[in-house]
Amino acid sequence: MKARVHVMLKDGVLDPQGAAVAHALGALGFAGVDNVRQGKVIDLELEDTDAASAEARVREMCDKLLANTVIERYDIEIG
């Protein structure tokens, strides 16, 4: 079973990488791009066969390692 985790900074947390991307896009002539937020995607291959238990395990992985839950939020896709 596969899992995909999307990790993003929480609203209100400064995103210097996103600001740098927004600035670079403007410098390259891409006008009208505001409030860029940068995140990460983590793909996992799991041995689980039950989607609910797989999601619970991935949630535990996120809470313990994959995301800094103080400043980041995450979404999990199981497929």
Average pLDDT along the chain, 79 residues, taken 10 residues at a time: 98 96 97 94 97 98 98 97
Q: Could you tell me the pTM of the whole model?
A: 0.88
Q: Which two tokens stand for residue 30?
A: 């891409």
| Rounded CA Rg of the chain | 16
pLDDT at 17: 97
User: What CATH number corresponds to the domain at position 41?
Assistant: 3.30.1280.10
Q: What domain range is 10 assigned to?
A: 2-78
pLDDT at 1: 96
pLDDT at 53: 96
pLDDT at 46: 97
The dihedral over CA atoms of 17, 21, 24, 30, expressed in degrees to the nearest 10, equals: -160
pLDDT at 15: 97
How many domains would you assign to the chain? 1
pLDDT at 13: 97
What CA–CA distance (Å, rounded) separates 46 from 31?
Answer: 42
